[in-house]
Amino acid sequence: MTDENKSETEAETQDYQEKYDELLEELTLKDEELTKLKEDLEKQEAETQEYISLSQRLQADFENFKKVTDKQNKEIIKFANENILKEFLDCYEDFGRALEIEDDKDLKQGVELIYNKFKDILTKEGIEEIPAKGEKFDFTRHEALMTQESEDVENGYIIDELMKGYMYKDKVLKYSKVIVCKK
């Protein structure tokens, strides 16, 4: 081998060595980057698992809350009428005492007392009678069972009330059953 060939070979070897060193350095950097990415991925996976666990706990807590709330609502509905029933029991007992009375005058007074007590309870609970006789017929509050002609009453007005109607706050609880004038 000539010196010239030797020099070329050494130059090529040196070039290859430099390229090798560059590639080795680049490979080391890539390995470090890969290690860092793996660590970040592990961190993210741990964080994701933590969030999943938290989400599952929150969902379980919500389901438990929902069950407790449903149970409380059922209890509220179950005993919603408790206070009014206590008041009706008083009236029921008054009827029992009234039935024990043998004098008609005392019986009538007892029944009137119970009637007024019932009326007071219903009024206190928001129930009121729907006015009917002499009023203009209103299909949202009255139910016409019959029509009749009448000289004393205008057309479309109520002649007589067959059964009373009642409102509960703003809602019709029971329609008044009426006879309406039709000319």
Of the candidates 89, 123, 94, the residue with the CA atom closest to the CA atom of residue 111: 94
**3-class secondary-structure state, position 135:** coil
- Out of 3.30.428.10, 2.30.22.10, 3.40.50.620, 3.30.2310.20, the CATH code matching 129-183 is 2.30.22.10
**Amino acid of residue 58:** L
Amino acid residing at 21:
D
How far is it, in rounded angstroms, from Cα 12 to Cα 167? 107
Taking the C-alpha atoms of residue 30 and residue 23, their distance in angstroms, rounded to an integer, is 10
- E-strand ranges in 118-175 read 127-130, 142-148, 158-163, 165-168, 171-174
- Specify the pLDDT at position 51: 96
Place of tokens 């080795």: 24
Mean pLDDT by 10 residues, the chain (183 residues): 70 85 92 95 96 96 96 89 79 79 78 87 90 94 94 92 92 94 88
Interior angle at CA 119, CA 133 and CA 99, nearest 5: 115
Strand order in the sheet with 176-181: 142-148, 176-181, 158-163
Any idea where the domains of the chain sit in the sequence?
1-79, 81-125, 129-183
Phi, psi dihedral angles at 139 (to 5 degrees): -65, -15
What's residue 1's pLDDT?
A: 57
